[in-house]
Amino acid sequence: MEGQIRQSLSGFYDVFSDGQLYRTRARGNFRKKRVTPLVGDRVEFESSTPKEGYILKILPRDNALTRPPVANIDQGVVVTAVKAPDFSTNLLDRQLIALEVSHIAPVIYLTKTDLIDDQRYQEFETLAAGYRQIGYPVILSREPFAAAGLDQLRDLLADQETVIMGQTGAGKSTLLNHISPDLTLATGEISTALNRGRHTTRKVSLMPVAGGLVADTPGFSSYDTLTIDYRELGQYFPEFLALASQCRFRGCVHVNEPGCAVKAALEAGDVLQSRYDNYLQLLTLLKNQKPVYNKKK
């Protein structure tokens, strides 16, 4: 039979097939090959009863993320608090790049707008306009979880497989509860003593929400190191990629080269300064990154 893994928990995989969930385990040869089934994987499996079965084969993946561990995702909603935890364009851009590298369409949803004053909110309106200009859908409203924004997100979720990602405390579970109140997901609070969130989401699962499937995943505040070559980084900034063909030199990395269309657009105010600054920081990190070698056990 063929189906899709909808949940993983303690070595068990719940596979959905023809309207039925089957509790399965992975065959031993997956461990030998160091292959781990992921939520979202399309698989071939055998099962004598809905409570007992084995995954035989993982079908080719469109994409996969390691944090969160999901596969075959269409889009990622990056839930970002404007305050508590403090907003960072650097973290937001890292999240967007992680999605771009995996060929997952990003959506930005800004939360906790009730914690900032009107002047600060206007700054976020300007920033949101800049990201929309790049091509990213951005959902931002003066009142938290306003109906118009929730309706926009429901439309984006329909017929898609979506991952909800962002820092612990940004409001991912609260957002999903507003979108689909019957989920009643556990919500957490920021631990001010440690200045880090408490993990309230324990398992990875794909849930039917708003006519699509949504992965609600544990919060995290950092991302795995990017393994791309620094010369490829500009490909994952859509506004840089659109301008690259106008640069004087092929392979321009948009730093010191003369005739750089990206730097010209930056000077003209057509590229966000924060995006370019974050690009330079990431470029430096990637240049200085030491190669990682897999240690043999």
% of the chain with per-residue pLDDT over 70: 88
Give SS3 for 13: strand
Q: Where are the domains of the chain?
A: 2-60, 65-216, 230-288
- Helices in 66-171 by DSSP H: which ranges? 89-101, 118-134, 147-157
How far is the C-alpha of 73 from the C-alpha of 39, rounded, in Å? 10
> Would you place residue 290 in the very low, low, confident or very high pLDDT band (cuts 50, 70, 90)?
confident
pLDDT at 121 over 70: yes
Strand partners, 107: 77
Q: What percent of the chain has pLDDT over 90?
A: 71
Give the pTM: 0.86
pLDDT tops 50 at residue 63: yes
**pLDDT tens digits, one per residue of 252-287:** 999 999 999 999 999 999 999 999 999 999 999 999
The residue whose two tokens read 């002047």 is 119
Average pLDDT across the chain, whole number: 88
Residues annotated within the binding site are: 111-114, 166-174, 247, 252, 254, 260
Q: Distance between terminal CA atoms of the chain?
A: 36
Residue with tokens 């364009």: 89
Instruction: Considering the domain delimited by 2-60, tell me its CATH architecture.
Output: Beta Barrel (2.40)
* Annotated binding residues for GTP: 111-114, 166-174
Nearest residue to 45 (alpha-carbon basis) of 72, 18, 71: 18
**DSSP H or E segment with residue 174:** helix 172-179
pLDDT at 293 > cutoff 70: no
* CATH no. of 65-216: 3.40.50.300
Q: Average pLDDT for residues 230-250, to the nearest whole number?
A: 97
Total residue length of the chain: 297
Backbone angles phi, psi at 107, to 5 degrees: -130, 135
* Res. 36: pLDDT tops 60: yes
Residue 52 has pLDDT above 50, yes or no: yes
Per-residue pLDDT tens for 189-234?
433 333 344 444 457 889 899 999 998 655 544 455 678 999 999 9
Strands 2-9 and 42-49 come out as antiparallel
Considering the segment(s) 230-288 as one domain, its CATH architecture is Orthogonal Bundle (1.10)
114 or 190: whose pLDDT is higher? 114
The two tokens of residue 111 are 């939360």
Contact between 270 and 262 (Cβ < 8 Å) = no
The pLDDT confidence band at residue 1, using thresholds 50, 70 and 90, is: very high
Binding residue numbers for Zn(2+)? 247, 252, 254, 260
